[in-house]
Structure 1
Amino acid sequence: MLNPQIVIDILNSQLVPLAAWLKDKTVTEIMVNPGGHVFVEAAGTITYVGQLLTEHMISTAIKAVAKHVRKDARANTNSAIVNASIDDLRISGALSPVSPGGSFITIRKHQDAGDRPTMEDLINKKQALTAKQAQTIEQLVLHDRNNLIIAGGTGSGKTTLLNALLNKIPGHERIITIEDSREIQISVPNFIPLLTNPDEGISARDMVKMAMRSRPDRLILGETRGDETYDLIRAFNSGHPGSISTIHADSAEEALGALEMLFQMSLPANASISSELARGYIAKSVKVVVFVNRSIEFSDGQARVIRKIQEICLVKGVINGNYVLENVA
């Protein structure tokens, strides 16, 4: 495993043409496509900035990232695909010929805690939600302590909303977060961040079980996506009201469907439950679903990313096998 600073040094040496964007705090994503074509997202606008990198530069960077996670990146093997968090960067990429047109790499930059948008920023600067919507979410989750699922696609702003909301939590509460990379940054004093490491056998399921034994007032799972789902839903139902997670889905209703599927897939060995009972259990556990939509508008040859809260749904129960939702957005 390479020391993170060594990896950063290799990245800086191979990605010199990207240096300005790596330092720019307004830049959130750098996308290097096959052939070295680079797109940058800054302040919500995606811009093509040119063909800046060679195949050698990209592949060397990917191999350095692979070494950081104890892999030896080689073409035509599963090690040709890498995902890792290094300092404030989330890096994913693949070598050619897994990517037939050439190697590619995507770098997502995590903002420093002081630079992350507050709820007020999301209202006034980002126009991601209205003041009334923010008040509704805060009342339902922070004050009434309903369990929340934040749904949306990749890059829709789920974690941004989560961070803004968590920084409104009263300081006396004990918060435990579980992530695979450090994206949640909150300022409450009684705060325990936990990181999974599947390559070393530390799974999200293990972390959820440990968190439940560590007396959290609220349990925060950065993303629900695997065999931790069963334990998460149990945690939602066992004395941790106001807990939160995110999930990839294209609507509030689809979020519950995705959660149900993951719940069924993560049941203990030899256990089974009917779809009807699973839906009832989920509807009892998750009381609020917020859907954040991501769309792209084109103007003057540039693509602007628009992120907005589209649904704030109360989960009222299940009737005739269907979830009953009330949109209060």
Structure 2
Amino acid sequence: MRRILGEPICAVFEDPQAVEIMLNDDGRVLVERHGEGITELTMMPPQKALNFLALMADYRQTVVGRERPVVEGAMPPEFRRSRFAGCIPPLTPMPTFSIRLPTTKIFSLDDYERVGILTSEQKARLVAAIEQRRNILVSGGTGSGKTTLLNALSDHIARISGLDQRVVIIEDTREIVCQAPNTVQMLTDLDAGIDMTRLLKLTLRYRPDRILVGEVRDGAALALLKAWNTGHPGGLATLHANNPEAALIRLDQLCQEAGVPSQQELIREAVDMVVQIERDSKCPAGRRISHVIQFDKGE
């Protein structure tokens, strides 16, 4: 894999500022870095890209071809178990892939304030919500920085947590970093039939105080809301949505994928705050917190 990728691409895996490596169908390899945006790195011929996808498929114990043109999953430990997604023709004109690198440097809420991603007033509201054990949903578009923001929130959880506060983290690929002293991290294994819903149910037997979920994508949203709403406040999760209102609508839609009717009442009970992060080229850091909405529960 290293031979096919070449030294310039392999070096990106050691760069703490790197966020994502992308191969487009024109052969250009692009890299996104914190605070720098996207830059062109090198070129990769189609045959090399195809060979790399074949190796990734073999590592994932599957195959890639016309009948199965998509490869997804975590990369080997030598590549920091980065999240890989790639496809070949006929889905794209030429082989393409996207590699999401796990965080090596945790940006604190103080860092977010210092670079102008959030205001001091927004930071104060987030800190208060964490310390008051509110359930926080981080919403944003693709590449907006949802997971990095969730890590900043989990960093504050770690700062105020002792052994008496057990944090359970559930993800498809390992991206959340939480240095709290009493932490358990779980990963789904779809090949073994272990999805996020099953892990959320298992989590309840692990005596969790806070439940953190990397990204809510399907009917597991229902299990998450039930867990948050049954004596496990103070959780964090991310969700793809363009604004806070759309986030709550999408959350309801995901719940309905579990075969239940609208769960608006459960959402109102379980979700205390929605934080919206978005790309903004006018901001020095390229991102900003556009909304911090806390819901009045009549307390």
User: Normalising by the residue count of structure 2, what TM-score does the alignment of the two structures yield?
Assistant: 0.90
The answer for the alignment partner of 2:131 in structure 1 is 143
RMSD, aligned α-carbons: 1.8
Q: Tell me the residue number matched to 1:155.
A: 143
- How far apart in 2 are the matches of 1:222 and 1:27? 19
Are 1:131 and 2:120 an aligned pair?
Answer: yes
Q: Which residue of 1 aligns with 2:291?
A: 311
Instruction: Report the CA distance between 1:25 and its aligned residue.
Output: 2.5
- Distance in 1 between the 2:17 and 2:148 partners? 14
1:261-308 Cα shifts (integer Å, max 9, x gaps): 1112214xxxx43x4xx212211111111111123469xxxxx87211
Q: Does 1:215 align with 2:207?
A: yes
**For residues 102 and 311 of structure 1, what CA distance do their matches in structure 2 show?**
39
Deviates more, 1:174-183 or 1:39-48: 39-48
1:286 aligns with 2:271: yes
Deviation at 1:164, TM superposition (A): 1.1
**Cα contact 1:283–1:316 (8 A) shared by 2:** no
Distance 2:282 2:118 in 1: 18
User: In the alignment, is the contact (CA less than 8 A) between 2:135 and 2:270 conserved in 1?
Assistant: yes
Identify which of 159, 166, 173 aligns with 1:181.
Answer: 173
How far apart are 1:91 and its partner, in Å?
1.4
Unaligned 5+ segments in structure 2 are none
Q: Judging changes above 3 Å, is the alpha-carbon distance between structure 1 residues 199 and 233 closer, same or farther for their aligned structure 2 residues?
A: same
In 1, the alpha carbon distance for the partners of 2:109 and 2:285 equals 19
Matches of 1:60 and 1:295 in 2, distance apart? 37
Contact 1:97 1:103 in 2 (8 A): no
Per the alignment, residue 197 of structure 1 pairs with 189
1:23 aligns with 2:14: yes
Normalised by the length of structure 1, the TM-score is: 0.82
> In the aligned structure 1, how far is the partner of 2:240 from the partner of 2:9?
30
Partner of 2:255: 263
Partner of 2:50: 59
Residue 68 of structure 1 pairs with residue 59 of structure 2: yes
* Rounded Cα–Cα distance in structure 1 between residues aligned with 2:209 and 2:180: 12
Shift in alpha-carbon separation, 1:287–1:200, aligned structure 2, 3 A:
same
User: 1:132 offset after TM fit, Å?
Assistant: 2.0
Q: Which runs of 5+ in 1 are unaligned?
A: 1-9, 299-303, 318-329
Aligned length: 287
Check whether the contact 2:219–2:256 (CA below 8 A) recurs between aligned residues: no
Distance 2:155 2:11 in 1: 30
When Rg is computed on C-alpha atoms for both structures, the one with the higher figure is 1
Higher strand share: 1
Contact 2:19 2:101 in 1 (8 A): yes
